[in-house]
Amino acid sequence: MPSKRPISISPTRRRKGNTVAKEDERLGKIIEELKAKLVEFENSPGGHALGLYLDLSLILCEQLIIKGWTVEQLAREVGFKPDYVEGLLHADEDCMLRDVGILCFALDVEIELRVKT
């Protein structure tokens, strides 16, 4: 299940400039869209897979905000096309676990898969 905690952005980050503030605002809107998608599909046949994609998308958005990175910076860091990373942010792009690992390594975050009973 995606994170229920609100995303907070430090005042220090906001002072870095208008471009950063606009990117934070754009990523915040993506997060809200993802939460709405999850509610819409959580009980559908494809809902489980979508839930995993949305979890990944939320993690990526949160980490970009925390690190102060843009999609272009992350894409450049890992050697992916910016459009591919942008698609992952919107849960519109299919990905391999290898790619998830590469992104998580670049963002210095660990994701864990567990069986829920």
Q: Would the pLDDT of 53 be above 80?
A: yes
**Predicted local confidence at residue 30, as pLDDT:** 87
Phi, psi angle pair for 91, to nearest 5°? 55, 30
**Which are the contacts of 34, defined by CB distance < 8 A and separation ≥ 6?**
2, 54, 57, 58, 61, 90, 91
Element of type H or E holding 50:
helix 47-67
Phi-psi domain of 68 (left: phi exceeds 0; alpha: psi -120 through 50; beta: other): left
Q: Which domains does the chain have, with CATH numbers?
A: 17-107 (1.10.260)
Amino acid at 90: H
Report the pLDDT averaged over residues 63-69.
93
pLDDT, tens digit, for every residue of 11-20? 444 445 667 7
